[in-house]
Structure 1
Amino acid sequence: MKDFHCRDAGMKCDFVARGSSDREILDQAGRHAQQAHNLPMTKDLEGRVLGLIHDEDSDAHRQSMGSMIP
């Protein structure tokens, strides 16, 4: 399973998209960006999100989860 944390993109937001493919996560992130942040999913934003998708068993995921601790 893979995920994307909105806060990793610099937002003060706890949204997390999860899925088995990058496309599934991009679709979720695109809807979220539009609805929650009024941001269209541009090619630049898509590239940024793709770079922040990681496997849930990776060090990057553990770092994202660790940043949730106040």
Structure 2
Amino acid sequence: MKDFHCRDAGMDCDFVARGNSNQEIMEQARQHAQREHGMQQLSPDLAHRVEGLIHDESSEAHRSSMSRK
């Protein structure tokens, strides 16, 4: 399982997207950004940044994200 923490993208937000693929997580993140942050679409730069912040839940990056709550 992989995840993305909105807080890792610099937002003051506790949203976490979880899924088995980057594509699944990116779709959740896109919907969240529209609904909660008023973004009509993710720019290519932001989409690339978000995809780079997706990590495996067993990784050190995940543990680091969890400790910032």
Query: Could you say whether these structures have the same fold, taking a TM-score greater than 0.5 normalized by the shorter chain as the test?
Result: yes
Summarize the alignment of residues 9-24 of structure 1 with structure 2, pairs less than 5 Å apart. Answer: 9-24=9-24
Q: Structure 1: which 5+ runs fail to align?
A: none
Q: Which blocks of at least 5 consecutive residues in structure 2 are unaligned? A: none
Tell me the equivalent position of 1:35.
35
Distance 2:10 2:2 in 1: 19
Sequence identity, in percent? 63
Shift of 1:59: 0.2
CA distance in 1, matches of 2:14, 2:51: 18
Larger CA deviation: 35-44 vs 25-34: 35-44
- SS at structure 1 position matched to 2:11: coil
Give the corresponding residue for 1:45: 46
Higher mean alpha-carbon deviation, 26-35 vs 37-46, is at 37-46
Distance (whole Å) between structure 2 residues aligned to residue 67 and residue 32 of structure 1 = 20
Matches of 2:34 and 2:45 in 1, distance apart? Answer: 14
Matched positions, count = 68
What TM-score do the two structures reach when normalised by structure 1? 0.94
The SS at the match of 2:3 is strand
Please report how far the alpha carbon of residue 31 of structure 1 lies from its aligned counterpart in structure 2 after TM superposition.
0.3
